[in-house]
């Protein structure tokens, strides 16, 4: 994975973002402030989602019978598929849309996560199919 040439610390982030806002043209400051808020808000909501997925997955594995796991496995599979598409796009492996903020380090991260999803998705999909079949919802001929 590419090394960042001059890493930014967590303590530096607020002043760097505020500096960008301070240097924005006067008529663009409010729009930029709203954009920066939405980015930080989306990141926080995404973190909540990931923590919820971890908790829900742990609960499902510990407390739910295999034949009843298929809804959770389906949800995880669908999320993983779309996450893989975004990661593959950032790695330049899947061409749809464009993100002008992708750096070489981000491309390397996208490639690594795409490989993770390529390995994980068949397991989630197989688990979903197996759980669904075990549930008895499929009528036998």
CA distance 138 to 141: 9
Check residue 141 and report its DSSP letter.
Answer: -
Does residue 43 share a domain with residue 28? yes
Check residue 6 and report its DSSP letter.
Answer: S
Task: With cut-offs at 50, 70 and 90, classify the pLDDT of residue 138.
Answer: confident
Does residue 134 share a domain with residue 77? yes
Does residue 133 share a domain with residue 71? yes
Buried b (16+ CB within 10 A) or exposed e, 39-57: eeeeeeeeeeeeeeeeeee
Residue 2 has pLDDT above 60, yes or no: no
Q: Which of 14, 35, 63 is the last residue of a domain?
A: 63
Task: With cut-offs at 50, 70 and 90, classify the pLDDT of residue 4.
Answer: low
Q: Which of 48, 63, 78 is the last residue of a domain?
A: 63
Give the domain range for residue 37.
Answer: 1-63
Does residue 38 share a domain with residue 22? yes
Give the number of domains in the chain: 2
127, 71 Cβ separation under 8 angstroms: no
- Whether the predicted model's global pTM rises above the 0.85 cut: no
Residue 36 has pLDDT above 60, yes or no: yes
Residue 52 has pLDDT above 90, yes or no: yes
SS3 call for 8: coil
């Amino acid at each position: 994975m590419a090394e960042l040439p001059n890493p930014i610390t967590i303590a530096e982030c607020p002043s760097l973002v505020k500096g960008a806002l301070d240097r924005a043209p006067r008529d663009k400051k409010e729009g930029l402030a709203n954009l920066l808020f939405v980015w930080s808000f989306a990141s926080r909501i995404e973190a909540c989602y990931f923590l919820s997925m971890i908790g829900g997955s742990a609960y499902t594995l510990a407390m739910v019978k295999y034949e009843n796991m298929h809804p959770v496995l389906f949800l995880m599979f669908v999320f993983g598929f779309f996450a893989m598409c975004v990661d593959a796009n950032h790695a330049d492996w899947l061409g749809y849309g464009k993100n002008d903020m992708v750096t070489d380090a981000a491309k390397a991260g996208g490639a690594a996560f795409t490989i993770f999803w390529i390995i994980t998705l068949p397991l989630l999909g197989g688990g979903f199919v197996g759980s669904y079949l075990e549930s008895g919802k499929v009528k036998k001929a």
